[in-house]
């Protein structure tokens, strides 16, 4: 365990406020996995290890501030489990799916879920978002650093259940990205997205998310507007 203690930064006091006393040890173990196996297996850059808590774990966990109690969540392009695993640790009431297409990453995720004792709360699903269109839905779809907002919405909104939403992690320029993506999102039948600043009073730098509610009618993500060609969604998946 000596090597781990050298590479993993000390647990900051604010982590207790985000993860709670009951789950803090699980979060710490996850940080150790990221700093060791995560780096060795190319999921986390070596330079990221010293700033795992602020830049990754806490940054992702506070997304739970805008997710309702008991919600089902899918983390698209989960990678090393961010934000999905951090959310699951901070919010035991959530049911989280980690959706990731690459085998080496899903293997790491499966091992992490087992090691952290989260098998009853978290599932790992190998695949791409568009492969799940018309197959499954979740109440909340989240993603971090996956794609520009309009493209992300076309991939992710078909995965949102009725009245569900996309909660996309973005940087401080989130509002500008919304403006750029708005014409395309409006064509999908979406209401105007909202931008939320999370982690106030806890994080040194806030987390920014864009929230896009799934249109009440129509099949988003496929060719054309939300109401077009509703009977043939599968033939349109190549465009998302």
82 assigned ligand-binding residue? yes
Q: Strands 122-126, 194-198: parallel, antiparallel or unpaired by DSSP?
A: unpaired
Is there a contact between 199 and 17 (Cβ–Cβ < 8 Å)? no
Distance CA(39)–CA(22), nearest Å, equals 27
130 assigned ligand-binding residue? yes
Is there a contact between 166 and 150 (Cβ–Cβ < 8 Å)? no
216 assigned ligand-binding residue? no
Helix (H, G, I), strand (E, B) or coil at 229: coil
Distances (CA, A) of 44 to 4, 81, 183, 192: 15, 11, 35, 34
Distance CA(82)–CA(97), nearest Å, equals 12
Distances (CA, A) of 69 to 57, 107, 132, 235: 20, 29, 24, 35
Is there a contact between 34 and 43 (Cβ–Cβ < 8 Å)? yes
144 assigned ligand-binding residue? yes
Q: Computed from CA positions of residues 236, 155, 99, 167, in that sequence, does the dihedral angle turn out positive or negative?
A: negative
CB neighbours (10 Å) of residue 201? 7
77 assigned ligand-binding residue? yes
| Six token digits for residue 231 | 């009977």
Residue ranges of the annotated binding site are 77, 82, 129-130, 144
Residue ranges of the annotated binding site for S-adenosyl-L-methionine are 77, 82, 129-130, 144
């Amino acid at each position: 365990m000596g090597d781990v203690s050298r590479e993993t930064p000390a647990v900051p006091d604010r982590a207790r406020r985000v993860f709670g006393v009951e789950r803090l040890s699980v979060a710490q173990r996850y940080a150790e996995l990221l700093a060791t196996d995560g780096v060795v297996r190319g999921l986390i850059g070596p330079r990221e290890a010293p700033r795992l808590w602020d830049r990754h774990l806490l940054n992702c966990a506070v997304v739970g501030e805008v997710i309702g109690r008991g919600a089902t969540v899918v983390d698209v392009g989960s990678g090393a489990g961010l934000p999905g695993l951090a959310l699951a640790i901070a919010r035991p009431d959530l049911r989280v799916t980690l959706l990731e297409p690459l085998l080496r990453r899903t293997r790491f995720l499966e091992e992490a879920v087992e090691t952290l004792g989260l098998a009853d709360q978290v599932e790992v699903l190998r695949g791409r978002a568009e492969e799940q269109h018309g197959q499954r839905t979740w109440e909340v779809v989240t993603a971090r650093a996956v794609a520009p907002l309009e493209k992300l919405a076309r991939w992710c909104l078909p995965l949102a259940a009725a009245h569900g939403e996309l909660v996309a992690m973005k940087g401080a320029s989130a509002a500008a990205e919304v403006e750029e993506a708005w014409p395309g999102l409006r064509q999908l039948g979406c209401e105007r997205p909202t931008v939320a600043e999370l982690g106030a009073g806890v994080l040194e730098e806030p987390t920014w998310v864009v929230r896009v509610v799934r249109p009440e009618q129509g099949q988003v993500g496929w060719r054309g507007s939300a109401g077009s060609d509703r009977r043939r969604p599968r033939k349109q998946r190549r465009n998302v």
